[in-house]
Amino acid sequence: MSLFIYNTLTRSKEEFKPIHEGFVGMYVCGPTVYSHSHIGHAKSYISFDVIVRYLRYLGNKVLYIQNITDVGHLTDDADEGEDKIIKQARLDRVHPMQIAETITRSYFDDMDKLGVERPDISPRASGHIIEQIEIIKKLLMNGFAYEVNGSVYYDVQKFKNYGKLSGRVLEESVEGTRVESRSEKRHPADFALWKKAESGHIMRWPSPWGEGFPGWHIECSAMSMKYLGETFDIHGGGMDNQFPHHECEIAQSEAATEKPFVKYWIHNNLVTVNGKKMSKSLGNFITLKDAFKKYDPLVVRFFILQSHYRSTLDFSDEALQGANTGYDKLLNTIRNLRDEIKKAESEKRTDGVGLDLSLHKKHFLEAMDDDFNAPLALGVLFDLARETNQSLNTEQKISIDTLKQIDQLFSELGGRILGIIPIIPIYTGNFSLTIKKQLVNMTGTNTPPNRDIEDIESKLIDLLIETRKEIRENKLWSLSDKIRDQLEVIGFKIEDKKDGTNWRKIN
């Protein structure tokens, strides 16, 4: 089996063959940092996170670049509108870079919680002004750009392949109602490479054309090629960036280098609310910070992975709630499995039946190989969970080896690749430790749990459980039920099993 990826450039699934075997250069358009991330950002970056994870799983050495746009964009290619970061800065009465810094931290914080592994390099646009100017200079020299009054524009009519990604024809877009006709541009579809800064514009840099700031496509060309070379394997981004952003990137880069820019273009689809795109400009977005108040971040991740990255995903509370329950069910299986491993080890189990897991793994990998079909792969995980639970339920014990193999498979597929199952083996210690908490800690950025308090907490609960056991032996049901109910109110879930009582922290 080999990996197939849907390439927007060819509108078809193609077998993935990196330019240099074993090495993958990948660039994904990062956020413009002027306001907190919402569910839509989560879908995008989780999708690409899984793609990177899978490419690495397959043995590739991946260099993953994702920019931070801290220069801000004009609201359009004409002179109208205000740079978004500057606007927010004005509203907050702080320096624009302070907004960018605050939101950048907020972004990473949200992504960490979602289990999104950090990019290898997160270049800031503001730190690559020189590289951007260099490309513009090259384009001026090549005749693909022209300077007017301190601004530089790209001459789209000079680039014969303009439109090859988005399938647009230049003439048609000219007739479009939204493209303005006035201005200093030669052609309405020409776009700014460099804009002259008017007085009062705070974010400005010196350039051969006077003080100004870069246009809103050039940063990605500059930063991607700086770290990945003039031709690289994968460029990703949201579908809404296909045109004009990615189209312009191609035009700039290929005109400047005279080489193909990107081999595979990957675009993820959008999150909708009541069928409408969730976006900052529509104002119908749910920030991740708000979502996390109600749902575990990994539930959000699970929810997103339940649909394909190229499909839209409709957000609703009901759907999130469903994902929550489904995810808990999956984790329950892991928990029960790991409890059983612990038990089997303590009783020094030497016999037991085995299970053939190869088919599950095969199906999972087939799903991922087919353009990263995570929802289908998740289905395989649920199949495995059901089979695991069945086996756990029967009288016939499973061998330690098999139990560990199942755990290993869950960790490998659901953990390493999909990032929703904790990969830390919980063979030792108290099985009741909160699984989710451990997973989040795995990302390395959350406050580690306070061991002392957890230890005391755990001993106290054990004591209560022990006491309750005697109460139950004396059939004082109302008292034992009261303890169970009250513990749940406090945040501890109690489950009476045949061979003892399990407890775990909830939330």
* Residue 496 within binding range of RNA, rule CB under 7 A: yes
- 425 preceded by a cis bond (ω within 30 of 0): no
Cβ of residue 263: shortest distance to RNA, in angstroms? 19
4 versus 446: smaller Cβ distance to RNA: 4
Nearest to 308 by CA among 22, 36, 51: 51
Residue 32 near RNA by CB under 7 A: yes
* 8 Å CB contact between 264 and 231: no
Given 301, 397, 484, 505, the residue binding RNA (CB under 7 A): 484
For position 480 contacting RNA by CB under 7 A, the verdict is: yes
Least CB distance to RNA at residue 348 (A) = 25
For RNA, the binding residue among 224, 241, 253, 402 (CB under 7 A) is 241
43: burial class by Cβ within 10 Å (0-12, 13-18, 19+)? buried
Q: Between residue 51 and residue 80, which ones bind RNA under the rule CB under 7 A? A: 73-77
> Comparing C-alpha atoms, which of 68, 82, 32, 101 is closest to residue 202?
82
Query: Is residue 379 involved in binding RNA (CB under 7 A)?
Result: yes
Task: Candidates 5, 25, 43, 504: give the one binding RNA (CB under 7 A).
Answer: 43
Q: Which is nearer to RNA, 137 or 251 (CB)?
A: 251
Which residues ranging from 260 to 279 are in contact with RNA (CB under 7 A)?
A: 268, 270-272, 275-279
Query: Min. distance of Cβ 318 from RNA in angstroms?
Result: 4
Task: Please choose, out of 129-137, 340-348, 431-439, 492-500, the segment that lies near RNA by the rule CB under 7 A.
Answer: 492-500
Which one of residues 2, 149, 177, 199 is an interface residue with RNA (CB under 7 A)? 177
For residues 179 and 365, what is the distance between their CA atoms, to the nearest angstrom?
Answer: 45
Q: Which stretch binds RNA (CB under 7 A): 203-211, 238-246, 398-406, 412-420?
A: 238-246
Show the tokens assigned to 394. Answer: 């029967």
The edge-to-edge listing of strands for the beta sheet with 23-28 is: 61-66, 23-28, 232-238, 262-268
Nearer to RNA, 242 or 399 (CB): 242
Q: Cβ 481 to RNA, closest distance in Å?
A: 5
Supply the DSSP string of 59-121, one letter for each residue: T-EEEEEE-BB-S---SSSSS-S--HHHHHHHHHTS-HHHHHHHHHHHHHHHHHHTTPPPPSB
Phi/psi-derived region of residue 118, left when phi > 0, alpha when psi is between -120 and 50, beta in every other case: beta
Tell me the β-bridge partners of 235: 27, 265
Is position 84 an interface residue for RNA (rule: CB under 7 A)?
yes
By the rule CB under 7 A, 378 interacts with RNA: yes
Of 77 and 233, nearer to RNA (C-beta) is: 77
Return the residue of 178, 182, 293, 451 that touches RNA, per CB under 7 A.
Answer: 178
Site for RNA in 434-453 (CB under 7 A): none
Q: Which C-beta is closer to RNA: that of 383 or that of 449?
A: 383
Whole-number minimum distance, CB 433 to RNA, in Å? 17
Q: Which residue has the tokens 């007739």?
A: 175
385, 364 contact by CB (below 8 A): no
Q: How far is the CB of 478 from RNA (least distance, A)?
A: 7
Q: Does 105 bind RNA (CB under 7 A)?
A: no
What residues between 277 and 336 interact with RNA by CB under 7 A?
277-282, 285, 303, 306-308, 311-314, 316, 318-319, 321-323, 325-326, 329, 332-333, 336
Least Å distance, CB 487 to RNA, is 11
Q: Are strands 151-154 and 145-148 parallel, antiparallel or unpaired?
A: antiparallel
CB atoms within 10 A of CB 479: 14
**Strands, DSSP E only, in 298-374?**
313-315
Q: Please report how close the Cβ of residue 450 comes to RNA at its closest, in angstroms.
A: 27
Site size for RNA, by CB under 7 A? 97
Q: Rounded to 5 degrees, what are φ and ψ at 398?
A: -90, 145
Nearer to RNA, 150 or 326 (CB): 326
Question: From residue 36, how far is each of 31, 47, 119, 169, 351 by CA, in Å?
Answer: 10, 19, 19, 36, 54
Q: Of 85-93, 289-297, 384-392, 429-437, which part binds RNA (CB under 7 A)?
A: 384-392
- Max distance between CA atoms of the chain, in angstroms, equals 92
Q: Does 495 bind RNA (CB under 7 A)?
A: yes
CA 478 – CA 482 distance, rounded (Å)? 6
Minimum CB separation of residue 441 from RNA in Å reads 24
- Rounded CA gap, 30 and 411, in Å? 28
CB of 171 to RNA, least distance (A): 9
Q: 263 vs 504, which CB is nearer to RNA?
A: 504
- Residues 187-206 interacting with RNA (rule: CB under 7 A): none
CA distance to 74, 76, 207, 283, 452, per residue, from 80 (Å) = 8, 7, 22, 21, 58
Give every CB contact of residue 32 below 8 A, 6+ residues apart in sequence.
Answer: 69, 70, 72, 73, 84, 85
Among 187, 204, 342, 493, binds RNA (CB under 7 A): 493
Instruction: Please give the full DSSP string across 320-336, using - where no structure is assigned.
Output: HHHHHHHHHHHHHHHHH
Residue 161 near RNA by CB under 7 A: no
Mapping DSSP to helix (H, G, I), strand (E, B) and coil, where does residue 388 land? helix
> Collapsing DSSP states into helix, strand and coil, what is residue 47?
helix
| Shortest separation between residue 351's beta carbon and RNA, angstroms | 22
- Least distance CB 485 / RNA (angstroms): 8
CA distance 292 to 449: 19
